[in-house]
Amino acid sequence: MAWELKSDRPIYAQLIEQIELRICSGVYPLGSKIPPVRELAQEAAVNPNTMQRALAKLEEDGLLYTNRTAGRFVTEDVKLVKQVRNKLAREHAQIFIKKMTELGFEHDEILSIINSIMKEMKE
Amino acid sequence: MNNILECKNLTKAFGNKVALNDVTLSIPRGRIIGLLGPNASGKSTFIKLCNDLLTPTRGEILIDGKRPGVETKKIVSYLPERNYLNEWMRVSDIVGFFRDFYDDFNVEKAYDMLNRLDINPRDKLKTMSKGTKEKVQLILVMSREAQLYMLDEPIGGVDPAARDYILDTILGNYNENATIILSTHIISDIEKILDEVIFIKEGRIVLNKTVDEIREETGKSVDSLFREVFRC
């Protein structure tokens, strides 16, 4: 999974989202050890202090925890990861709906578009 | 001493042309800082003052508590804006030179980076392209285990792929207590690796903030803010 960072929003906030995404999608499985700060910073081509700040916030939120000697790990709390997953889903849906509304679609039109596209993608 | 670099009311005039005007700054350890400004804004003057290549007209600079001189050169690794290496020398000779000159030079690191960039240590500098020479210089400078790196336009002449490698080298090779100050006007490629940016305009500091503060407050990248502040 490549790190995608947009240029108009704080890097720190984007790193948090991307790590959340990696945890929810299983790139970093529950209970697994994540790479050290330096390595992550280099991989994402960002400043190590910014990466550190993002990881600290994720620790505060409980998604990551540090074992003093062994490194940093992903939580094993399935419920918490589900919550984050729902939060990410809501955010993506909100952005999508906002864009569709800007295009002038009504709510039931949006729903029917989603339904027909999902049918197409299944086929 | 928490700050690696402090300057107070630093001013440099060449005749009646003021290149740097009353600059006061504190730069902590463990940061990567971008010194950003258009041509002739005073970036190189500032870096040269820090490296004892120029003397201040007024004011003072302290690096690790000391005035620029022999002692500070031991802990500052400086990449000048132009090539100062002898064209007839082989890369391996220059590596030997650096090893003799600087106690903190890590030969292994230098050869490792040369190898990764496919530069043959047996090659003479004069056979190399401009971009390759720049890479050699940067490798030499980053192979020192310095406390402060001052890089004057480190990515100016290299192609975007090599630029990525150089940024990767910078991120991968500095220790977290060291500070890097780099001057550039190519901002979009490097803003992600910076903690803080200092905008310098006509010899004065007009902005000194973290990259994320700028993005948060203005909703703009450092690159687009730069274009606004320095619109011609």
Residue A112 sits in the same domain as residue A70: no
Please state the domain count of chain A. Answer: 2
Residue A68 sits in the same domain as residue A107: no
d(CA A23, CA A30): 7
Q: Which chain A residues contact residue B211 at CB under 8 A?
A: 11, 47, 50
Distance from CA of B12 to the nearest CA of A (A): 32
Provide the residue-wise pLDDT of chain A in tens; the chain has 123 residues.
Answer: 789 888 889 999 999 999 999 999 999 999 999 999 989 999 999 999 999 999 999 999 999 999 888 899 999 999 999 999 999 999 999 999 999 999 999 989 999 999 999 999 987
pLDDT of the residue at A34: 94
Residue A71 sits in the same domain as residue A15: yes
Q: Which residues of A touch B (CB under 8 A)?
A: 5, 7-13, 38, 41-42, 44-50
Pick from A7, A42, A46: CB nearest B223: A7
Pick from B30, B215, B224: CB nearest A9: B215
pLDDT in tens, B74-105: 999 999 988 888 899 999 999 999 999 999 99
Residue at A31 is within a domain: yes
pLDDT in tens, B212-232: 999 999 999 999 998 888 887
Residue at A105 is within a domain: yes
**CATH code where residue A44 lies:** 1.10.10.10
Distance from CA of B95 to the nearest CA of A (A): 26
Residue A72 sits in the same domain as residue A84: no
Task: Report the SS3 class of residue B187.
Answer: coil
Residue A70 sits in the same domain as residue A83: no
Residue at A98 is within a domain: yes
Q: Please, which pLDDT band fits residue B1 given cuts at 50, 70 and 90?
A: low
Residue at A2 is within a domain: no
d(CA B69, CA B63): 10
Residue at A6 is within a domain: no
Closest CA to B206 of B87, B41, B10: B41
Question: A62 with A73: CB under 8 angstroms?
Answer: no
Mean pLDDT computed over every residue of chain B: 91
Residue bearing tokens 């090599």: B162
Residue A67 sits in the same domain as residue A103: no
pLDDT of the residue at A55: 96
Task: Report the SS3 class of residue A69.
Answer: coil
Q: Which domain holds residue A27?
A: 11-76
B214 to chain A: nearest residue by CA?
A10
Distance from CA of A45 to the nearest CA of B (A): 6
Residue A90 sits in the same domain as residue A53: no
Residue A15 sits in the same domain as residue A72: yes
B204 — alpha (psi -120 to 50), left (phi > 0) or beta? Answer: beta
Residue at A62 is within a domain: yes
Question: Which CATH number is B3-229 given?
Answer: 3.40.50.300
Q: Which chain A residues contact residue B228 at CB under 8 A?
A: none
Residue A19 sits in the same domain as residue A70: yes
- Determine the length of chain A: 123
Residue A66 sits in the same domain as residue A17: yes
Residue A39 sits in the same domain as residue A62: yes
Span B20-45, mean pLDDT? 92
* B231: DSSP letter: -
Residue A99 sits in the same domain as residue A118: yes
pLDDT of the residue at A89: 93
Pick from A38, A42, A47: CB nearest B194: A47
pLDDT in tens, B10-26: 999 999 999 999 999 99
Domain ranges of chain B: 3-229
Residue at A4 is within a domain: no
